[in-house]
Chain A
Amino acid sequence: MNKPALPRLLTLCLLAAAAVVVSSLPAAADSRDILIKNGTILTVTKGVIPKGDVLVIGGIIKQIGGTIAAPPGVRVVDAAGRYVLPGIIDSHTHIALAGTNEGSEAITPEADVGTVINADDTAILTALSGGVTMVHTMHGSANPIGGPNVVLKMKWGRPSEELVVKEALPTLKFALGENVKQSGRTVQPGQTQRYPATRMGVNAIIRREFEKARNYMAQWDRYNRAAAAKNPPRNLVPPRKDLRLEVLAEVLRGERVARCHSYQATETLEFMELAKEFGFKVQCFEHIWEGYKIADELAAAGIGISVFADSWAYKMEAAEGIAYDAGYCAKHGVLVSINSDSGERIRRLFNDAAKTMKYGGLTEDEALRLVTINPAIQLGVDKLVGSLEVGKQGDIAIFSEHPMSAYTRCDMTIIEGDVYFDRDQVLKEREEAAKKAAAPRDKGGAS
């Protein structure tokens, strides 16, 4: 992650403004049923229905298209003149966490962000206001091997455990380049430079850790074989269980995939070689600004990318980034998603996806895929979400204009049939809060 300072400031201002109304927003009702009528339905995978209804019952899409009669007691939303699309998915962010990096050491696969979910993070509300229903929230990029990541639904007001998408593919964060070699850091007197300090060191330390993990697995195999024997040897001693190596063993066994923060083409190719050598799966390269240089290699290896739409050149290794990166790679058979990496940009992922139409020449449908079905495939949840299909979960966003239009805005965000963001309601609450704040205060009342 590498955020410019301005959006961060903006986020703070927005949060300060939101804070007044945050507490009054209710947790969603538990009905999980909803009927959306008369919208233009962008199914993403099954084409566009110019005018039709979508019915969600018990959190699952039951029917799409045509005129559907409202079953008794089901909330009806009129979407006439508006666009109904699958909830937007952010393939790479760091919101809803209590802490991002275990930055004290270079190798920390034991530091699992799934153990520090913060369901009270107001960035969830920000995400909902941009139609986002699901995020892949990740360990930071401070370490060559960071920690496991977690996929969350943006169920604001629900207990943290209810946000977790258990069906998602288990992932582990890796990172290459400037962040992990700490190129931006000045070593103070008395401090030591953390190893690795070069790109070759980064590759070497990752190799070393996987060799350790291989040995660890072999130790356990030997022990398990000996223990299972008819006459186990006397004084058999099991290996010590190591949380750090357990996670790497999962990667080597193919139970967990790599998500690797990587900017430059050369070191990315080296990492792909390393993965081939150790036989682990790289699911996705993160932010890869030089992806366009190796699009064919990525496509051939079946590795996706998750990138920004623009805002390159904010550091040396991003100098050769181009706005055509996402569009070009998508056209060359790479599975591309557009990510936010931010608690603020997350609310305008649809804008960022639309930029690939100008830079890269994607169609509306292709551009919309970058923030819906493509991230769903990357996260291994495309059977559940990412498009509007009967049998999928009722994660839906309603937009005022086509989501790839510059004039659009999100009016409503629905997760599994429950409304979690309703623009009209939020505006009403904000107005009431303003009225309350402007009203003369009681003597001695709280300020």
Chain B
Amino acid sequence: MKHSTRVFVSLILFLIAVMALVAASPPGDVGPTYAIRNCKIVPVAGPVIEKGTIVIRDGLIESVGPVDKIKIPEDAEIVEADGLVAYPGLISALSNLFLETPARPEGQAFTSEEPPQPQAQQPQEDRFPPGPGLLVLDQLKPKRAGVESFHKAGFTTVLAAPARGIFEGQSVLLNLNGEPLQPMVLRNGVALHINFTTERGSYPSSLMGTIAHIRQSFIDADYYAARQAQYEKGPAGLKRPEYDPRLEALVPFIRDRKPVVFQCNNVEDIKRALKIAGEFKLNAFLAGANEAWRAADVLKKSPVPLLIALDFRPPATSKYAAQGEELRKKAEAEIYPANAASLAKEGIAFALVSGSNADGAAVLRNVRTAIKSGLSPDAALRALTIQPARYMGLDRTLGTLEPGKIANVVLVKGEFFDDNAQVAKVFVDGVQFKYAEVTK
């Protein structure tokens, strides 16, 4: 009796485990083995394979190659992919996915004639919410709908970033392998995110105040690190430096060149960010940057990772939003979409990112718009795979279809960036997600 109950319970547990495996592979367990065969393969790392097989084992790519070269393992579940094209999972190196707070406001108007009226002074530690020490991971609320929306656009990996304040906080890299947050995390505290915005009602309330505030913060962080190091070296006769959580959080970015991502809503923001990066020798990334073509000369002189947003609405601080409706429409339809193509022509490297755009379909549509504006599909694919992987220091594990890499694979009906292409299946960490029926 007792024994049979235990068998029954074990059976139930086993079934639950099998069901769970289909949805998400719990950490520590061995994931399933798949053989995706008879598909066209675009590995990004090498030439296109017209008819090939990809073997996935336990979350990793075991082998990739032409059908006649790859032996399908006996334990593999066969995934018939005749008529489909396999791509590496797309990476958005900047996203506000899973943030409860509203997405980044459409820039801030800095043109107010009247000085803002200060509110009652708040306590010092609350004056710059949320601050550089904030880890956005602690605020994320993943939703299945968000995951699916991005899967259907081919995205398997995102850098989830905060979107409030000047020092917005630190981002986390996620592999979209299900709904639970913890198993998604590839790396936490990836980059510090800075936005040239203002604090309404308190200091700084103007863009120039914000720039001074950012500079003073880095000066203070550097000074803080120097005082700590001096104290460590010889504390005798030295007053103990006071602990400051805000400056402590900034130290790795000013001392150890951890990435700092500047949101750049117009051409001036790009120059500002480069100036601050130069002054403090930061490892700067420029995000948004839909006016990067206007600073092409500067960007060629001082190359810096660019995270071009697939969101072509001109922010309020752009001249394209400030000089009449006609120009704004033209910018959204023609000028901003042509940015990526212009950069490619100038030989300036960039990644394409979803940014504040939480609608996967709209993001993919904007990739297609950029391609129609002159970007080659191949360059677009690289800007969504290997280039962001390199920027994030993840090119050994992501960004291409190669043996040994994480099994992030997208199977598409049709060529990815054609208007009527459709994502059929997505594998993330070797976990399969089915989206469209495969019909030959």
Contacts and interface: CB of A to CB of B under 8 A. Distances in A.
Interface of A: 3, 8, 16, 19-20, 22-23, 98-105, 108, 110-113, 115-120, 122, 139-140, 142, 147, 159-161, 185, 188, 190-192, 194, 234-235, 237, 240-244, 446
A99 B112 CA distance: 7
A16 B211 contact: no
Nearest to A115: B211
Contact of A102 (B208, B219, B234, B326): B208
B219 A243 contact: yes
A185 B117 contact: yes
B201 interface: yes
A142 B205 CA distance: 12
Nearest to A109: B212
Contact of A23 (B220, B223, B327): B327
A104 B202 contact: yes
Contacts of A142: 115
B272 interface: yes
Contacts of A100: 112-113, 115, 206
B203 A241 contact: no
A240 B220 contact: yes
Contact of B204 (A111, A117, A241): A111
A102 B204 contact: yes
Given A19-B326, A112-B212, A446-B329, A99 B207 contact: yes
B268 interface: yes
Nearest to A194: B118
B145 interface: no
B323 interface: yes
Contacts of A188: 117
A116 B116 contact: no
A442 B107 CA distance: 33
Interface residues of B, number: 51
B365 interface: no
A105 B212 CA distance: 13
Contacts of A241: 219, 223
Contact of B120 (A116, A147, A190, A242): A190
Interface string B95-113: 0000000000000001111
B324 A192 contact: no
B139 to A, nearest CB: 27
B201 A110 contact: no
Main secondary structure of the interface of A (DSSP, over half): loop
A105 B118 contact: yes
A183 to B, nearest CB: 13
B203 A105 contact: yes
A159 to B, nearest CB: 8
B274 to A, nearest CB: 11
A160 B212 contact: no
A191 B122 CA distance: 11
B27 to A, nearest CB: 46
A243 B215 contact: yes
A333 B101 CA distance: 61
Contacts of A22: 323-324, 327
B271 interface: yes
A209 to B, nearest CB: 15
9 contacts: A20-B326, A99-B208, A103-B115, A104-B115, A118-B319, A119-B268, A243-B212, A243-B216, A446-B330
A105 B119 CA distance: 11
Nearest to A117: B268
A20 B326 CA distance: 8
Nearest to B213: A110
Contacts of B294: 159
Contact of A240 (B121, B215, B223): B223
Interface string B260-285: 00000001100110000000000000
Nearest to B236: A235
Given A20-B324, A240-B220, A3 B212 contact: no
Contacts of B220: 240
Contacts of A104: 115-116, 118, 199, 201-206, 209
Contacts of B317: 98
B227 interface: yes
Given A23-B327, A111-B206, A235 B230 contact: yes
Nearest to B115: A103
B323 A122 contact: yes
Contacts of B206: 99-104, 111, 116
B123 interface: no
A168 to B, nearest CB: 18
Given A116-B207, A235-B230, A241-B219, A98 B324 contact: no
A160 B268 contact: yes
Given A120-B322, A243-B216, A446-B326, 17 more contacts: A16-B324, A22-B323, A23-B327, A23-B330, A103-B205, A104-B116, A104-B206, A104-B209, A110-B209, A111-B206, A113-B208, A115-B208, A139-B208, A234-B234, A235-B238, A240-B219, A242-B216
